[in-house]
Amino acid sequence: MSSTMKPPKGFAPMSCCWSTATMQKRLPFLAWLPDYTWHALKMDFIAGISVGLTVIPQALAYAEVAGLPPQYGLYSAFMGCFVYFFLGTSRDVTLGPTAIMSLLVSFYTFREPAYAVLLAFLSGCIQLGMGFLRLGFLLDFISCPVIKGFTSAAAIIIGFGQIKNLLGLQHISRQFFLQVYYTFHNIGETRVGDAVLGLVCMVLLLVLKLMRDHVPPVHPEMPTGVRLSHGLVWTATTARNALVVSFAALVAYSFQVTGYQPFVLTGKTPEGLPDAHIPPFSVTTANGTISFTEMVQGMGVGLAVVPLMGLLESIAVAKSFASQNNYRIDANQELLAIGLTNILGSLFSSYPVTGSFGRTAVNAQSGVCTPAGGLMTGALVLLSLDYLTSLFYYIPKSALAAVIIMAVVPLFDTKIVGTLWRVKRLDLLPLCVTFLLCFWEVQYGILAGTLVSMLVLLHSVARPKIQVSEGPMLVLQPASGLHFPAIETLREALLSRALETSPPRSAALDCTHVCSIDYTVVLGLGELLEDFHKRGATLALIGLQVPVLRVLLSADLKGVLYFCTLEEAEKYLKQEPGTQPYNGSEDSVPEHKIALLKA
């Protein structure tokens, strides 16, 4: 007897192509890894090193923005590199700590690492759930003016928050308005060493950035020496953060050797990566134990704001670079990638992370070919935790402040007000509401701005523009869809222009732009038909689309007349022979409409 069993008759094995396509969608690296080349490896290696030299000083600086010890920035900087290799759909995006996410963490975690780590875990769970449920469309309700208002306010809050470190001031409140007051109040306590070093670092960063923006492209016909010098300039300007921070640390170390230290230093940073452990679901303090429920209540709306803003920032970055470089991303797959990054990162004491626009730009400009570049970035961060933490002690806080300030300056959009003034002035309302309220509380700014945007949107739905045409008969054409809040506007327009005149006029409602109606609209149309009938006038419907026609037929409205064109309606009102309306039954509907109705 043969040991090989034959499948039953009629059995069809699962399609190999379907299985492969599904696997490639869920694990995108399977799509590009089989065709990976040595050239791609070289470019990814260069890009990974470039991003790594950028993220290490930024991670240390952003931990300060989050109100956490500097090592937590590094703990947050490597997991996204490895997870995104497997799950990411953009070759350019790098996940890690960012200025905006660090600002949000500082608002909701009370400068407590345990809260920050738990927030990362819970944010990841929410983001992962949204990815599985394909809820990425919810982010579409946060409009561009709201985003611009938030990021511009965040740039000012973060930037001004670093003035105290730039000037060496101590004991300054973190609340924005108190921060402004006490910064100016204590300006006389400025440490000259920190102020001078911080300003020098800012100037160096600006000069290197300008050099990077104006370096001419390399051509193969250039002499070897020119190409080599170009490569050195490109490397120095791309890794400018690491270069400037290293310079500042060397200056601080030189003073330390002489026994005089004019700078406020970062201080001791624990060596190595912490052991993997589950996030803290309770915290023990001198006053007792804070339970998981109390921690969640303490973080409040941060559990909604942090994951949503993290997703919004990351997907916006991914879409921007996908558009520039002519490829597509899967937004729901990106939700899975960032959600899993935050969950796994929380096991190693990470705080919430998202896509970084600045480091993604470095990645793209370095010629990255695939997400494999992130592996080198992650490895570089881990190496720095193992071998460089003793050197981080000498990094002046004023140098890190300079890095942060120069990083957030591009977030402030100086052109958005002028653009909105030219395009649509009403959009300035959510922009200003978000911008101003974010200085009070970030969540209030985002929520209020989103609410104002929704009200603007609903106003256009409730009060659609109605185009009126005078001719043999009055024609009203809604410029957009017809939904239940708009029925009163339509009713007022028809009553004032047709029925309140003497004598009452017949009218036609051109539904060319109406693709769907609801029950409230059907009831409103029925009342209008009765009003017209009582006044001895006619209300005709023209240009009905199939979904609308199907609803009207199902409603069985009495006395409804609908025509394919305005000309047919005018002929009917003139009682020209051969013109009949389509009224209330499927038998009167044209054959091509019946075919569509039955489809």
pLDDT in tens, 376-411: 999 999 999 999 999 899 999 999 999 989 988 888
Tell me what percent of the residues of the chain surpass a pLDDT of 70: 92
Cut 0.95: pTM above it? no
In angstroms, how far is CA 563 from the centroid of its own chain?
46
Whether 139 and 307 have beta carbons less than 8 Å apart is answered as: no
Distance separating alpha carbons of residues 465 and 462, to the nearest angstrom: 10
Q: Do 507 and 372 share a structural domain?
A: no
Quick check: is 32 in a domain?
no
Distance separating alpha carbons of residues 446 and 151, to the nearest angstrom: 10
- Peptide bond preceding 352 in cis form (omega within 30 of 0): no
Quick check: is 454 in a domain?
no
Residue 65, Cβ density class (10 Å: 0-12 exposed, 13-18 middle, ≥19 buried)? buried
Looking at every residue in the chain, the average pLDDT score rounds to: 86
Task: Report the pLDDT averaged over residues 529-547.
Answer: 89
Quote the strand ranges of 320-431, DSSP E.
354-355
In angstroms, how far is CA 314 from the centroid of its own chain?
6
Asked if residue 1 has pLDDT above 60, the reply is no
337 closest CA partner among 351, 324, 318: 318
Quick check: is 523 in a domain?
yes
Residue 240, Cβ density class (10 Å: 0-12 exposed, 13-18 middle, ≥19 buried)? buried
Distance separating alpha carbons of residues 511 and 541, to the nearest angstrom: 7
Q: Identity (one letter) of the amino acid at 140?
A: D
Answer with the one of 377, 409, 441 that is the final residue of a domain.
Answer: 409
pLDDT at 578: 46
In this predicted model, which residue has the larger pLDDT, 206 or 480? 206
Whether 126 and 142 have beta carbons less than 8 Å apart is answered as: no
Extract the tokens encoding 299. Answer: 């973080």
In this predicted model, which residue has the larger pLDDT, 576 or 229? 229
Q: Do 393 and 513 share a structural domain?
A: no
Q: Identity (one letter) of the amino acid at 305?
A: V
Answer with the one of 364, 384, 409 that is the final residue of a domain.
Answer: 409
Quick check: is 201 in a domain?
yes
Asked if residue 459 has pLDDT above 50, the reply is yes
Q: Do 471 and 396 share a structural domain?
A: no
Q: Do 498 and 405 share a structural domain?
A: no
Distance separating alpha carbons of residues 70 and 264, to the nearest angstrom: 14
Q: Do 517 and 402 share a structural domain?
A: no
Q: Distances in Å between the alpha carbon of 334 and those of 176, 312, 345? A: 33, 11, 16
Answer with the one of 409, 426, 453 that is the final residue of a domain.
Answer: 409
392 closest CA partner among 164, 71, 11: 71
State the pLDDT confidence band at 228, using cuts at 50, 70 and 90: confident
Tell me what percent of the residues of the chain surpass a pLDDT of 90: 45
Distance separating alpha carbons of residues 163 and 168, to the nearest angstrom: 8
Q: Distances in Å between the alpha carbon of 213 and those of 209, 216, 239, 342? A: 6, 9, 13, 33
241 closest CA partner among 412, 503, 50, 103: 50
pLDDT at 582: 56
What number of other Cβ atoms are within 10 A of residue 495's Cβ? 16
Task: Report the pLDDT averaged over residues 81-107.
Answer: 93
Whether 551 and 514 have beta carbons less than 8 Å apart is answered as: no
Residue 556, Cβ density class (10 Å: 0-12 exposed, 13-18 middle, ≥19 buried)? exposed
- Give the per-residue SS3 of 96-141: ECCHHHHHHHHHHCCCCHHHHHHHHHHHHHHHHHHHHCCCHHHHHH
Helix (H, G, I), strand (E, B), or coil: what is residue 445?
A: helix
Whether 432 and 149 have beta carbons less than 8 Å apart is answered as: yes
Task: Please report where in the chains the tokens 């001791």 appear, as a residue.
Answer: 268
Helix (H, G, I), strand (E, B), or coil: what is residue 446?
A: helix
Extract the tokens encoding 161. Answer: 């928050």
Q: Do 403 and 469 share a structural domain?
A: no
CATH at residue 588 = 3.30.750.24
State the pLDDT confidence band at 214, using cuts at 50, 70 and 90: confident
Q: Do 474 and 341 share a structural domain?
A: no
Would you list the DSSP string of 519-584?
A: HHHHHHHHHHHHHHHHTT--EEEES--HHHHHHHHHHT-TT-EEESSHHHHHHHHTT-TT---B-S
The distance in angstroms from the start CA to the end CA of the chain is 54
Q: Which residues contact 236 (CB under 8 A, 6 or more apart)?
A: 208, 243
Quick check: is 439 in a domain?
no
Extract the tokens encoding 106. Answer: 């500082």
Q: Do 472 and 400 share a structural domain?
A: no
pLDDT at 294: 93
Q: Do 50 and 188 share a structural domain?
A: yes
DSSP lists the bridge partners of residue 468 as 476
State the pLDDT confidence band at 285, using cuts at 50, 70 and 90: confident
Task: Report the pLDDT averaged over residues 94-121.
Answer: 94
Domain count for the chain: 2
Extract the tokens encoding 255. Answer: 């003073």
Give pLDDT tens digits for 326-339. Answer: 888 888 899 999 99
Quick check: is 344 in a domain?
yes
Whether 532 and 538 have beta carbons less than 8 Å apart is answered as: yes
Q: Do 399 and 502 share a structural domain?
A: no
Quick check: is 530 in a domain?
yes
Quick check: is 417 in a domain?
no
Burial 120-155, CB ≥16 within 10 A → b, else e? bbbbbbbbbebbeeeebeebeebbebbbbbbbbbbb
- Structural domain for 563, as ranges: 464-575+583-594
DSSP lists the bridge partners of residue 289 as 284
Asked if residue 352 has pLDDT above 70, the reply is yes
Distance separating alpha carbons of residues 224 and 204, to the nearest angstrom: 28
Q: Do 374 and 481 share a structural domain?
A: no
Q: Do 523 and 404 share a structural domain?
A: no
Residue 24, Cβ density class (10 Å: 0-12 exposed, 13-18 middle, ≥19 buried)? middle
338 closest CA partner among 319, 352, 348: 352
DSSP lists the bridge partners of residue 285 as 288
State the pLDDT confidence band at 482, using cuts at 50, 70 and 90: confident
